[in-house]
Amino acid sequence: MNRKTVRNFSELKDSRLLYEKDLPPFGYLLVSLTALLLIAVVIWSLKTPKTYVVKSSGTIESTNKNYIMSAYTGEISQMNISEGSYVEKGDVLFTVKSTDLDLQEEQISGQIGVYNENISQLKKLEQSIMDGKNYFDITNENDRQYYNQYEAYMSQVSQNDIDASTYKSYGYSDAQIETELKKNSAKISELYYSTLKGIDESIRQYENEIDKLKIQNDAVSNGQSEYAVEAGTSGIVHMMGDYKEGMVVQAASAVGSIASENDKYIVTAYLGVNDRPRVDIGDDVNIEVAGLAQNTYGNLKGKLVSVDNDVTTSQNGEQTFFKSKIEIEKPYLISSKGNKVNISNGMAAETRIIYDEMSYFDYFLESLGLLTRD
């Protein structure tokens, strides 16, 4: 015979759910939604990177800006250009009337000497890179610039010249080590040939300038009184002053510049001294152009291509920074409505150099002390 036990309501400790044993349908729905939400958060945290950036301000510039200048002092007798005008290579920009033929001839000869010296130094730099030996003397003022250029090149080479033992200490397999060594070798080879190509282009540019100066020198020697200044490339003219006929221009003084339509653009940015150790050549960069709303036009993309080896101090001595150059991938922005804006010389920009990134999942683990990165 079963005996029933009667208990007071206050003696009941467990919930009604335990006695009824069945979870209400709403409970199943709540548990399922919570589980799905947790799974979605985990997937998002694994797929979404958290980036670490260094911010800096800078100015957009053309990589091959061509300056307009007269190789000699004289009075402008005819002006054919103005701000924003388009010129073709070889167009006569303005003509200069000689004021002192002897002085001009001396100036031209001196400029030719400077260009020849630059060519000689560039050829020595080229030989240094090919031989892997610095032939410049840092104590020689004329050599110092090229000495530093060679050392900067070798610094970039050493950054990619990592031996197998280093990768082995990081736990890389033999196959991974071989892959990384091939990548490094390819980078060094690309750096070698691109550097030599740049030197050769500079030499050719100086040689072209010497040819022009020789023609001008012959004209001066023959007693010509007027000389034409021609456009060295096709593009848009920017005047550096309100030059008019009758005004005097000084030798080797820039009157304006020509921005070629096909030029690539860079951002010259200024890194704080505390930020320099965080960035490396090749880091990706997001570039926000001043005056264009980021949520409408987005960002330009670029890569960090160079950083000065030493700090630069502002004229007032209050600021020190590392000058860096960032190569821009595309010279335009397109708004969410499809409006296209081309970038141009002199635009201000804010750069964000991405020096590290990790998933939010790893970030949470690191915050909890469960993950340690090298």
In this prediction, residue 14 has a pLDDT band, given cuts at 50, 70 and 90, of low
Domain residue ranges in the chain? 9-37, 48-62+264-367, 66-259
What CATH number does domain 48-62+264-367 carry, 3.40.50.800, 2.40.30.170, 1.10.10.10, 3.30.750.24?
2.40.30.170
Banded model confidence at residue 2, pLDDT cuts 50, 70, 90: low
Average pLDDT, the chain: 82
> Which residues is 95 bridged to in the sheet?
78, 228
Stretch among 127-136, 151-160, 321-330 having the lowest mean pLDDT: 151-160
Taking the CB of residue 34, how many other CB atoms lie within 10 A of it? 10
Positive or negative, the CA dihedral 136, 139, 143, 144 is positive
What separation, in Å, do the N-terminal and C-terminal C-alpha atoms of the chain show? 73
For residues 198-205, average pLDDT: 90
What is the per-residue pLDDT across 39-76, written as a single tens digit (0 to 9) for each? 888 887 777 777 778 899 899 888 777 888 887 778 88
Q: Is the pLDDT of residue 119 over 90?
A: yes
- 288 neighbors 282 (Cβ within 8 angstroms): no
Nearest to 301 by CA among 289, 318, 292: 289
The reported pLDDT for the residue numbered 324 is 92
Q: What is the pLDDT of residue 228?
A: 85
Q: What is the pLDDT of residues 321-360, one digit of tens each?
A: 999 999 999 888 998 888 888 888 888 999 999 887 777 6
At residue 187 the predicted structure's pLDDT band, cuts being 50, 70 and 90, is: confident
From 78-82, 128-132, 136-140, 181-185, the region with the lowest mean pLDDT: 181-185
Is 4's pLDDT higher than 70?
Answer: no
Is residue 128 pLDDT above 60, yes or no? yes
**pLDDT tens column, 271-316:** 988 888 889 999 999 999 988 888 889 899 999 999 998 888 877 7
pLDDT at 5: 62
